[in-house]
Amino acid sequence: MFAVSASLVNPANAHGWDDNADEDFFSAMLGGLLPAALWLIYVVGAGRIRPTNNRRLMFHGASLLAAMTMFGSTGGWLDESSTLHMVQHMLILVVIAPLYVLARPLPQWLAVSGKIGIRLWKPFLRLSRHPLRTGILQSLVIWFWHTPVFYNLALASPWWHLAEHLSFAFASGLFWWSILLRRTLTVLPALLLTLMSTGMLGALLTFAQTPFYNDLLNIQDQQLAGLIMWVPGGLFYLLAGGWCSLRLFTKCIPIVDQNSVPGCLSKDAVNTSL
């Protein structure tokens, strides 16, 4: 599949951002303005609903990283290295998106957007109740944009490149939202699915003997990019799995009472009874 789709895009044309310098600049500018707009709405909303200092810090950090990552596309330097391109992708998928989720900015955003914002967020709130579905969605988006035809298309057009990053941000944001803010057993198979999916793609890129993407890029660069997705990227999902398991384990504690059968009480209930 990778070999066939790689032939659909001319590698010589997939390296032509220099011919579209203005489009490159404006698409990167738009990509940077989106997190800036979210940041501005958050700042206004924080004046109405005050977040904790930790959440405020995480949101500001995520916004700064998002703006830098989007603006980092300018100049065409990313399309000369699969490794740098992969670093950019992994920043969006496993650093920026979970930071946004852990910051829990929804109350601040809704404080500004009101009923319109509530209507817009409702479908995503429903979808976030299903970690497996969001995991499948994220995996499909990742594989879609790493097939050669669409990867090279993103290199050839700054607007497709922007669409790639926005779809990464959307899918990974939904995924981490359903994982980090829920205490259900379904988060663990969802994380396992994502770990296996990205691991398979990373291993495929790492052990490939021919370039899947732009022929101007050397095979060692592609292999290093695959290794970054496979090992450091996979580590984030493993850490998330451990953290979610710990939360599930500490959600309730087993008790044995003379007048009861072994069961499970919440920590709050135990503290109240002491």
DSSP output for 13-40? GGG-GGGGHHHHHHHHHHHHHHHHHHHH
Higher pLDDT: 155 or 23? It is 155
Tokens 């450091």 label which residue? 232
Higher pLDDT: 20 or 85? It is 85
Whether the predicted pLDDT of 212 surpasses 50:
yes
pLDDT of 217? 63
* Residue 208 contacts residue 223 (beta carbons within 8 Å): yes
pLDDT of 59? 98
Cα–Cα distance measured from residue 123 to residue 117, given in angstroms and rounded to the nearest whole number = 11
* Residue 96 contacts residue 66 (beta carbons within 8 Å): yes
Mean pLDDT in residue range 214-236: 87
pLDDT band at 155 (very low <50, low <70, confident <90, very high): confident
pLDDT of 72? 63
Mean pLDDT in residue range 207-217: 79
pLDDT > 70 fraction of the chain, expressed in percent and rounded: 79
Higher pLDDT: 190 or 71? It is 190
* Residue 178 contacts residue 190 (beta carbons within 8 Å): yes
Q: Where are the beta strands (DSSP E) in the chain?
A: 252-255, 263-266
- Domain boundaries, given as residue ranges, for the chain: 2-273
Mean pLDDT in residue range 86-96: 95
* Residue 27 contacts residue 161 (beta carbons within 8 Å): yes
pLDDT of 101? 96
Higher pLDDT: 180 or 30? It is 180
Cβ-based neighbour number of residue 207 at 10 Å: 11
Whether the predicted pLDDT of 252 surpasses 70:
no
Q: What is the pTM of this model?
A: 0.81
pLDDT of 180? 93
**Across 26-35, 88-97, 127-136, 251-260, least confident range:** 251-260
pLDDT of 258? 40
pLDDT digits (tens, 9 = 90+) for 162-199: 899 999 999 999 999 999 988 888 999 999 999 999 99
pLDDT of 257? 42
